[in-house]
Amino acid sequence: MAKYVYSFGKDSTDGDATMKNLLGGKGANLAEMAKIGLPVPSGFTITTEVCTYFYANGHQYPPELEAQVNDAMVAIEKTMGKKFGDHKDMPLLVSCRSGARESMPGMMDTVLNIGLNDRTVEVLAKESQDERFAWDCYRRFVQMYGDVVLDMKPKTKTDIDPFEELLEAKKHKAGVKEDSELKPAHLKELVKEFKAAVKKQTGKDFPDDPMEQVWGAVGAVFGSWMNDRAIVYRRMYGIPHEWGTAVNVQAMVFGNMGDTCATGVALTRNGATGEKGITGDYLVNAQGEDVVAGIRMPKRIEESLNKDMPTSWEEFSKVAMILENHYKDVQDIEFTIEKQKLWMLQTRNAKRTGFAAVRAAVDMVNEGLITPEQAIARIPANDVTQLLQPVFGGAGLKGKKEIAKGINAGPGAATGQIYFQPDEAEAVWQKKNDAEIILVRLETTPEDLRGMKVAKGILTSRGGAASHAALVSRQMGKACVCGCEAINIDYKTETMTIGDKTFKKGDWISVDGFTGKVYEGKVPTSPSEVLQVLFEKSLKPKDAPLYQCFQQLMSWSDRFRKLDVRANADNPKESNEAIALGAQGIGLTRTEHMFFDHIDDFRKMILSETIADREKALAPLLKHQQTDFEGIFRAMSGRPVTIRLLDPPLHEFVPHEEKDQAELAKKMGIKPADVSRRVKELHEFNPMLGHRGCRLGIVYPEITRMQATAICQAAVAVMKEGIDCHPEIMIPLIGNITEFRNQEKIIREAATAVFKKAGVTPDYLVGTMIELPRACVTADKIAEGAEFFSFGTNDLTQTGLGISRDDYGTFINEYREMDIFSDDPFQTLDQDGVGGLMKIAVEKGRSARSDIKLGICGEHGGDPASVKFCHKIGLSYVSCSPLRLPVARLAAAQAAITEKKEKAAKKTSGGCECCKDGCKCCCCCKCGCRG
Ligand code: ADP
Ligand code: MG
Ligand code: MG
């Protein structure tokens, strides 16, 4: 019989940490904690397979489930020594908690205090000798159950929440401010009123039967897998909708039974900076959700838990270390202290910023806890870019007014305009994708996710380092300052007031997530610590701890990776920066960028009517280009440099406004009408597929000749200075070998002429960019001539998908919303389509020329998933913009390590690494090999 229910607790535990796919992260880790002897309230997990079944069978459960749940309930009763729904002795209460394979904080629903009704509440009051506590639990339960299970949660910001309204009215009547000041009599009245509200809105009585309550909650948790915010979250983090969630039913323990009780959330290392030591938030005499919800300002564990509860603190810090050593990773822990007894409710690998990820991983290697390989594998490659992002500091802060200070929750510097409503922020961003927004909220909730996503920074007045705002912004890598109590926010008037100064919606502020400081107006940024060491040389490595971590991680990555990394760079400055960030060569120099620096000469060439005129106009350009190339060759001192010949259509270089055309005519000494006629001639309906790339050099061979001559003369000049030089001349947009042969002939003739005259012959290659489907499918033919291929995946995506990058903005958002595309194909390589074309080209290219050099120079060269794909299909290098180089280095190392692991796993078990610890079905096996 299929096993759908897995028990955990002191007496016996069925699952363990390796079973995340089946039990969800929360369930698997609860089982693991129970297994290693930590204090976990007993409970059971209903597997993710039931969720899949639930959605495949019209919200029905497998028939075997009920009996298995009943048995598991009995097991909890035995271990905890209490009975569910007991009318005589202390009753057992349970929570019902969601838990997917990867944690989705706050995205799905949880119900606490299940099992209470008018009779059990009396027993709870008597046995706990605390009437207020019992009725407070009951009040919370009816409210949570109503919101989550009976779907009474307000749907929009303007809907009223019947429970909140009744609660407010009660507080008003009682003349108190805080929920905690309500007397038992008030709470009793509230429960009655809540239940009446349920009856009124749903037409049904609130369920009294404890088991019926459990099933209601289980159904609601499974149902919450498909709520809007969970779907948005999964899309954002690439979690497949098919995974489903597990449900955990667990004995309740109480942090709200007086001042010897508490509840809290902690990290074993600082989630923002990675520094060693427990940090976190807790509340005395409170229940679970209060801490994360930001309703009451929590206390900081590292500051006062040891004073408030010395014995519990000691036990807790011990358990936290056990967990970190056991999982060998930073842990994010939820716990409750009931009358001085510690209970563990959750542990998971902590979400962290890029800073913390790098710092903690490098520290752990140095502490001997993990290997360099493990450190590399666990840092999301994109996260290292955070270490290069600009910060506030130095001269930029001069004259800037610090207006408030909060908790430094998500590092980074952000300047933007204040918005208070997440949906408005999103709307502003939809209109203008480069809008700079600071989202200012009392606290954030999962509903605010879309607004948080588009904000540059987040500022909240409530909530601590473990609040929702802090957690989510850390994961998104956004600057966040939270718990900034000095700020008074008024959503109605859309203002925030600090002291006597009021800020309105749209006003500019700046937040520094490193220091927690908030500034008035725009604050200019300065380079990050890493770049101060590498580019500016204004900091010494020994004075830059973050740089040291970065450098250590990069050197380990270089040790493991097989792919070379190159940079896309157009001038000596960029070339130097690229080398500082680890470039082993240049994969793309765009020659047209140089033409913009000498635009008048270039325009003269375009306006020439005869070949003789054109050649005359090209002469000064040759000089300029040669100088530019010499600079790059010198900077790269012997590393290979790929130079692409002129690519964009000529109309991009001429003025389109009448006024500018008249000015140009004057400068060139020709008639304005001649300029405008030439501009009109150059007009194309679809320039992306027009007269560009090699088609220019074929119609205007003198341009190709000039560029080849400039490259070769520059190489010769530099070699004569004693600097080695390896130019690779790249012809763009080749679709046919005949095009290649045409251009190759011109290039080789120019090269021979230059070298003969100089008496020096550098090593040089002539190759092509592969950016047309025709080039891919005829790559064997093209490789007969081309000595290297470089995949221009920007154009290959445009031509392969038939989607213009300049126009796809009008529909890509809808495509992503509707899951028609899981990723933006211009950011992450479309591996099946464009990647499929690349595979064909690689295979055919190699069949004709076994030692052909293969690289990629599109934007995708700096995207982790695409880099890993390039490793898989056996390219020799990836090339990306200099600031993406660290990402490429790390991703390339990760690809090599994964490959090594997969090979080892195949040898030992015949299954692949990712499937080894779980299910091998088509939706679980990530790599598609199905074990
Ligand atoms: P989330 O996934 O949103 O964190 P959880 O299932 O972890 O939701 O529940 C939120 C909080 O509720 C927990 O951090 C914990 O404080 C409290 N909680 C859940 N189950 C129990 C329980 N059995 N006893 C006491 N508190 C609980
Ligand atoms: Mg939790
Ligand atoms: Mg191109």
Between 465 and 35, where is the model more confident? 35
Measure the CA angle with vertex 583, ends 579 and 589; round to 5°: 95
Say what the pLDDT of residue 620 is. 93
Distance from residue 581's CA to the centre of ligand 1 (Å): 44
Kindly report the number of other CB atoms within 10 A of residue 814's CB atom.
Answer: 10
How far apart, in whole angstroms, are the C-alpha atoms of residue 702 and residue 743? 11
The position carrying tokens 């919800």 is: 293
Question: Around ion ligand 2, which residues have CB less than 5 A away?
Answer: 334, 346
The position carrying tokens 């207006």 is: 403
**C-alpha distances in Å from residue 296, one per residue of 271, 300, 596, 767, 885:** 22, 13, 58, 65, 44
Distance from residue 162's CA to the centre of ligand 2 (Å): 26
pLDDT in tens, 880-927: 989 999 999 999 999 999 999 999 988 776 554 444 444 454 444 455
How far apart, in whole angstroms, are the C-alpha atoms of residue 546 and residue 528? 10
How far apart, in whole angstroms, are the C-alpha atoms of residue 717 and residue 764? 14
Ligand 1 atom with the shortest distance to the CA of 251: 23
Ligand nearest to the CA of 110: 1
Distance from residue 775's CA to the centre of ligand 3 (Å): 13
Encoded tokens for 564: 């070379």
Closest residue by Cα to atom 13, ligand 1, is 288
Question: Which of the listed residues 44, 346, 348, 471 should we mutate to test ligand 1's pocket, taking the one with most ligand atoms within 8 A of CB?
Answer: 346
DSSP state of 389: S
Say what the pLDDT of residue 293 is. 65
Kindly report the number of other CB atoms within 10 A of residue 900's CB atom.
Answer: 13
Q: Is the pLDDT of residue 157 over 90?
A: no
Closest residue by Cα to atom 15, ligand 1, is 288
Ligand nearest to the CA of 791: 3
Told to judge if 929 belongs to the known catalytic residues of this protein, a careful annotator would answer no
Closest residue by Cα to atom 11, ligand 1, is 288
Told to judge if 857 belongs to the known catalytic residues of this protein, a careful annotator would answer yes
Lowest mean pLDDT: which of 40-44, 58-62, 393-397, 680-684? 393-397
How far apart, in whole angstroms, are the C-alpha atoms of residue 880 and residue 566? 7
Say what the pLDDT of residue 922 is. 45
- For the segment 210-220, the average pLDDT, to the nearest whole number, is 97
Ligand 1 atom with the shortest distance to the CA of 254: 25
Q: Which of 857, 912, 915, 925 is catalytic?
A: 857
Instruction: Tell me, using a 6 A CB cutoff, whether residue 110 lines ligand 1.
Output: yes
How far apart, in whole angstroms, are the C-alpha atoms of residue 115 and residue 93? 5
How far apart, in whole angstroms, are the C-alpha atoms of residue 926 and residue 723? 48
Question: Which of the listed residues 42, 345, 444, 449 should we mutate to test ligand 1's pocket, taking the one with most ligand atoms within 8 A of CB?
Answer: 345
Question: Around ion ligand 3, which residues have CB less than 5 A away?
Answer: 771, 792, 795
Q: Is the pLDDT of residue 818 over 90?
A: no
Instruction: Tell me, using a 6 A CB cutoff, whether residue 252 lines ligand 1.
Output: yes
Instruction: Tell me, using a 6 A CB cutoff, whether residue 42 lines ligand 1.
Output: no
Percent of the chain with pLDDT over 70: 97
DSSP state of 419: E
Distance from residue 847's CA to the centre of ligand 3 (Å): 25
Ligand 1 atom with the shortest distance to the CA of 265: 14
Helices (H), 692-833: 694-699, 701-720, 737-758, 773-777, 779-785, 793-801, 812-817
Distance from residue 346's CA to the centre of ligand 2 (Å): 6
Q: Which of 186, 468, 860, 871 is catalytic?
A: 468
Strands in 110-114's sheet, in edge-to-edge order, are 5-8, 43-46, 245-251, 94-100, 110-114
Ligand 1 atom with the shortest distance to the CA of 97: 6
Instruction: Tell me, using a 6 A CB cutoff, whether residue 85 lines ligand 1.
Output: no
Distance from residue 786's CA to the centre of ligand 1 (Å): 62
Lowest mean pLDDT: which of 157-161, 234-238, 498-502? 157-161
Phi, psi values for residue 224, rounded to 5°: -70, -15
How far apart, in whole angstroms, are the C-alpha atoms of residue 36 and residue 31? 9
Kind of pairing between the strands at 276-284 and 262-269: antiparallel
Instruction: Tell me, using a 6 A CB cutoff, whether residue 253 lines ligand 1.
Output: yes
Helices (H) and strands (E) in the chain, counts: 36, 31
**Is 655 buried (19+), middle (13-18) or exposed (0-12) by CB count in 10 A?**
middle
Instruction: Tell me, using a 6 A CB cutoff, whether residue 95 lines ligand 1.
Output: yes
DSSP 132-185: HHHHHHHHHHHHHHHHHTS--S-SSSSS--HHHHHHHHHHHHHT-SSGGG--HH
Question: Which of the listed residues 110, 224, 341, 471 should we mutate to test ligand 1's pocket, taking the one with most ligand atoms within 8 A of CB?
Answer: 110
Return the closest-CA partner of residue 757 out of 716, 728, 719. Answer: 716
Say what the pLDDT of residue 475 is. 72
pLDDT in tens, 615-659: 999 999 999 999 999 999 999 999 999 999 999 999 888 888 899
Between 195 and 228, where is the model more confident? 195
- For the segment 822-842, the average pLDDT, to the nearest whole number, is 95
Closest residue by Cα to atom 19, ligand 1, is 95
**C-alpha distances in Å from residue 394, one per residue of 40, 397, 526, 824:** 49, 6, 7, 37
How far apart, in whole angstroms, are the C-alpha atoms of residue 648 and residue 693? 6
Distance from residue 97's CA to the centre of ligand 1 (Å): 7
Rg of the Cα atoms in the chain:
32
- For the segment 874-879, the average pLDDT, to the nearest whole number, is 97
Ligand 1 atom with the shortest distance to the CA of 41: 23
Distance from residue 127's CA to the centre of ligand 1 (Å): 23
3-state secondary structure of 79: helix
Kind of pairing between the strands at 83-84 and 91-92: parallel
Say what the pLDDT of residue 601 is. 87
3-state secondary structure of 922: coil
Distance from residue 771's CA to the centre of ligand 3 (Å): 6
pLDDT in tens, 257-283: 989 999 999 999 988 889 999 999 999
What does the mean pLDDT of the chain come to?
Answer: 92
Instruction: Tell me, using a 6 A CB cutoff, whether residue 217 lines ligand 1.
Output: no
Ligand nearest to the CA of 793: 3
Ligand nearest to the CA of 286: 1
Distance from residue 121's CA to the centre of ligand 2 (Å): 26
Say what the pLDDT of residue 107 is. 79
Contact at 8 Å (CB) between 134 and 125? yes
Residue 405 corresponds to which amino acid? Answer: K
Lowest mean pLDDT: which of 182-191, 473-482, 853-862, 909-918? 909-918
Between 62 and 398, where is the model more confident? 62
Lowest mean pLDDT: which of 5-19, 154-168, 556-570, 760-774? 154-168
Return the closest-CA partner of residue 714 out of 807, 636, 824. Answer: 636
**Is 761 buried (19+), middle (13-18) or exposed (0-12) by CB count in 10 A?**
middle
Q: Is the pLDDT of residue 474 over 70?
A: yes
**pLDDT tier at 42, thresholds 50, 70, 90:** very high
Lowest mean pLDDT: which of 132-141, 198-207, 250-259, 809-818? 809-818
Ligand nearest to the CA of 105: 1
Closest residue by Cα to atom 12, ligand 1, is 288
Ligand 1 atom with the shortest distance to the CA of 107: 3
Instruction: Tell me, using a 6 A CB cutoff, whether residue 41 lines ligand 1.
Output: yes
**pLDDT tier at 191, thresholds 50, 70, 90:** very high
Helix axes 210-224, 131-148, angle to 10 degrees: 50
Record the pTM: 0.83
Distance from residue 443's CA to the centre of ligand 1 (Å): 19
Instruction: Tell me, using a 6 A CB cutoff, whether residue 113 lines ligand 1.
Output: no
Encoded tokens for 544: 């830059």
Instruction: Tell me, using a 6 A CB cutoff, whether residue 336 lines ligand 1.
Output: yes
Closest residue by Cα to atom 3, ligand 1, is 106
Lowest mean pLDDT: which of 70-79, 153-162, 344-353, 707-716? 153-162
Closest residue by Cα to atom 6, ligand 1, is 97
Distance from residue 116's CA to the centre of ligand 1 (Å): 17
List 640's β-bridge partners, or say none.
726
- For the segment 226-249, the average pLDDT, to the nearest whole number, is 90
Ligand 1 atom with the shortest distance to the CA of 248: 6
3-state secondary structure of 442: coil
Instruction: Tell me, using a 6 A CB cutoff, whether residue 112 lines ligand 1.
Output: yes
pLDDT in tens, 80-92: 999 999 999 999 9
How far apart, in whole angstroms, are the C-alpha atoms of residue 694 and residue 671? 31
